[in-house]
Amino acid sequence: MLFALKSGFGWLSTIPVGISMEGIEALMRHVYVFPLVGLALGAIFGILALLAGQALSANLVAVVILVAIYKLCGINHIDGLADFGDGVIAHGPREKKIAAMKDVSLGTGGAVFIVIILLAAFAILSDTPRSLLPLSLLVAEVSAKEAMICFAALSTSLQKGFGQIMIERTGSGQHLLGLVISSLLCAAALGPLGLAALAASQAAAYWMVLVAKWNFGGATGDGIGATNEIARVVALAVVLTFGGVLPWTLW
């Protein structure tokens, strides 16, 4: 499991831990460690937000966090969002939509999806109270990684690739165990508010499963990456929206 966790950082971040096919195999057997990777990444973003908030305005803090997210997590997932968006927006039969999703060129649909996600993330991060922002980033990253597991567990693989490996290896048991781990982490961080953010991100993942099925007849790695990006923003939005309504802790 520790080997899988190490490989998880290589799979989900740009941290130079090294990754091999043996590591990928181990990770797919223990994919429930994704939320633990999210915990570490979210903690880094939270600490950065705490430090940046001492000297910068809310808007600049949001920019710093976004830069950190795509520096530390890489652009593979947002690239998946772009490809997914191109396929969803394309008109015509499924074959045409799948071809648009596979096209390496950025289309209008992908560009629109990226702009909306970045604008939403910027607006939410700018408006989130500074006292709540660090823990909201932690919960959002845990929720996003669990959403990837949910998407993979409920999807049918469409084509060969690393996405196919995750989709075919992730079952209900992995999903349930990951959900238990994520629930404990989110509850410890933000109590009922954290659980609400996790639940919303799971609903977003399920919606992505349906969108992928309606448009493509199945799922690919692009759908997994897109789910990560969307679930992160959904979780952040829930924390901002209900931060003054739901209690932050279990105590």
In a domain, 251, yes or no: no
State the DSSP code for 129: -
- DSSP per residue over 195-243, as a string? HHHHHHHHHHHHHHHHHHHHHHSSB-HHHHHHHHHHHHHHHHHHHHHHT
Cβ–Cβ < 8 Å for 145, 228? yes
pLDDT at residue 246, as a whole number: 64
Three-class SS state of 157: strand
- What angle, 0 to 180 degrees and rounded to 10, lies between the N-to-C axes of helices 21-29 and 162-169? 30
pTM for the complete prediction?
0.92
Under 8 Å between Cβ of 6 and 153? no
In contact, 145 and 37? CB cutoff 8 Å: yes
**175 falls within a domain:** yes
How many CB atoms lie under 10 A from the CB of residue 2?
9
248 falls within a domain: no
DSSP 8-state symbol, 22: H
In a domain, 249, yes or no: no
Number of domains in the chain: 1
Grouped pLDDT means (10 residues each) for the chain, 251 residues:
85 85 86 95 96 94 97 92 92 89 84 95 95 95 97 87 81 93 95 95 97 92 94 97 69 46
Does 73 map to a domain?
Answer: yes
CB 195 within 8 A of CB 54: no
User: In the prediction, which pLDDT does 245 show?
Assistant: 65
Note whether residue 192 is domain-resident: yes
Specify the pLDDT at position 251: 46
8 A C-beta contact, residue 117 and residue 226: no
C-alpha distances in Å from residue 224, one per residue of 114, 148, 162: 15, 5, 10
Q: Cβ contacts of residue 81 below 8 Å, gap of 6+?
A: 110, 113, 114, 117, 222, 225, 226, 229, 230
* Domain range for 153: 2-242
Please classify residue 54 by burial: count the beta carbons closer than 10 Å to its beta carbon, then call 0-12 exposed, 13-18 middle and 19+ buried: exposed
Q: Note whether residue 163 is domain-resident.
A: yes
In a 13 Å sphere around the CA of 250, the CA atoms on its Cβ side amount to 8
